[in-house]
Amino acid sequence: MNQALALIAIVVRDYDEAIDFYVNKLDFALVEDTYQPEQDKRWVVVKPVGDGNTSLLLARASTAHQQNYVGDQAGGRVFLFLRTDDFWRDYNNLVKRGVEFAREPKEASYGIVAVFRDLYGNLWDLVQFTDGRS
């Protein structure tokens, strides 16, 4: 058996503001932005630059129920983990671009980590593993 996570859906308020954040603040690549007329929505996929295969599907909230989860996908816990090969390069770039950090950088037994908020408030770890995990 060979399985892998391909896409993780993240509920967003607006496609264009989410694309702007992920592409211009986090340096993700815009993989696809296709209008789907039969559902009156867009299929928007972004991906961190690098050799990873997992991408984010930016899914616009289309109901009041879904709107309640924009920015709270994990109930206030860290939701996603952005692995980097150079923590300080990426941390300094994010700070320069105005990304808000909820927890300052710290060294842990597994590496260097800091927690930032995406444009809606979801928490992410920016992490450089130093213990051999990938």
Closest CA to 12 of 88, 66, 65, 75: 66
> Does 115 have pLDDT greater than 80?
yes
- As a whole number of angstroms, the distance between CA 55 and CA 22 comes to 11
42 bridge partner residues = 35
Closest CA to 13 of 24, 2, 5, 21: 21
> Does 4 have pLDDT greater than 80?
yes
The helices-and-strands tally (H runs, E runs) of the chain is 3, 8
> Does 134 have pLDDT greater than 80?
no
What's the pLDDT score for residue 121? 97
SS3 20: helix
Q: Lowest mean pLDDT of 3-7, 79-83, 92-96, 123-127, name the range.
A: 3-7
Domains of the chain (ranges, CATH numbers): 7-129 (3.10.180.10)
- Mean pLDDT, range 125-132, rounded to an integer: 94
